């Protein structure tokens, strides 16, 4: 099972979420990472509620095999959809129960029924300790606590 860090967090939500340096630390720690991407005025920006941290296409390209890119506005989705040759792994959702990523994985909204080989998002928010064993059939989990989950599951990316 893959463990995906939510916004670069390693041991819980933090103040450096989506910061490029934090993402790199997370990747160097052996985890894949979900990032929030905005495209505004021809600029690529990372940030959850709005674009905060400027990046460029080279930054995304250099990390593409390790990133799960959550497009936060329609402009980001359209921009990435037009770049076929890079094979970036991206998706867009708000409160959809299920979203298909560009890498053909099902991103499951927190609290929704898990599907085999899907990505369980933020299980720490909605699964009891007893139920957490049920995520073992998933392809991956996306969590604010990847260090904690690393010891519980055999990880494909570590």
- Domain spans of the chain, in order of start: 2-150
Residue keyed to tokens 């402009």: 75
**What residues of the chain score a pLDDT lower than 50?**
158
Q: Which helix (H) or strand (E) holds 146?
A: helix 146-150
Q: Are 23 and 35 in contact (CB under 8 A)?
A: yes
**pLDDT per position as a tens digit, 8-41:** 999 999 889 999 999 999 999 999 999 999 999 9
**How far, in Å, CA of 92 to CA of 14, rounded?**
23
What is this structure's pTM? 0.93
Give the DSSP letter of residue 151: T
Residue 120: both structure tokens together: 């369980």
Q: Which pLDDT belongs to residue 129?
A: 72
Q: Which pLDDT belongs to residue 153?
A: 66
2-150: what CATH class?
A: alpha beta
Q: Are 156 and 1 in contact (CB under 8 A)?
A: yes
**How far, in Å, CA of 155 to CA of 109, rounded?**
21
């Amino acid at each position: 099972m893959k463990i995906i860090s939510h916004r670069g967090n390693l041991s819980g939500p933090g103040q450096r979420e989506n910061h490029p340096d934090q993402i790199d630390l997370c990747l160097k720690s052996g985890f894949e990472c979900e990032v929030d991407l905005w495209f505004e005025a021809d600029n690529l920006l990372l940030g959850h509620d709005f674009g905060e941290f400027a990046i460029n296409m080279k930054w995304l390209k250099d990390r593409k095999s390790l990133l799960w890119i959550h497009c936060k506005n329609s402009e980001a989705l359209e921009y990435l959809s037009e770049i076929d040759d890079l094979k970036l792994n991206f998706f867009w959702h708000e409160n959809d129960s299920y979203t298909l990523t560009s890498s053909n994985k099902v991103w499951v909204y927190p609290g929704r029924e898990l599907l085999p080989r899907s990505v369980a998002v933020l299980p720490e928010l909605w699964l009891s300790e007893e139920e957490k064993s049920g995520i073992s059939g998933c392809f991956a989990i996306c969590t604010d606590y990847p260090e904690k989950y690393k010891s519980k599951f055999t990880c494909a990316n570590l």
